[in-house]
Structure 1
Amino acid sequence: MALYESEHTKFMREWMEKHPEQKGEQQQGRALWWDKPQDAETRTRQNAAKVPPKPYYYQTDN
């Protein structure tokens, strides 16, 4: 059974094969937006500050 591969994925694979110099730029872009250092203390404070959602989202009375 063959796995599905989208046209976009095929295009990107071919593009990266033809333009290997783009690998470094791709990694820089990922580091800019996604690969951020994690701070355990900040994450703990954020988790403690979360407000649980209401059981019924559209309920307006408290």
Structure 2
Amino acid sequence: MFKNTKYVSDFTQFMQGYLHEHPDVARGQVEGRALLWDKSPINLDERSRNTQSAVAQKPYPYQPE
């Protein structure tokens, strides 16, 4: 209900101090996110060609005919 904006936990104080002393950590986090999560924009024409050129797979490929 009421929010105490003056309280800062010990962990938050530690992390703020650590990140202030080691700015390279924040840069590493941004680089890691870009490497693993951020994707390049989708080329819709290429996506459409890939979808149209896909070969349909049989429901159970290991069943001999």
Where on the TM-score scale, by shorter chain, does this alignment land: which range? 0.3 to 0.5
Q: Which has the larger radius of gyration?
A: 2
Q: Provide the TM-score with structure 1 as the length reference.
A: 0.47
Q: Provide the TM-score with structure 2 as the length reference.
A: 0.45
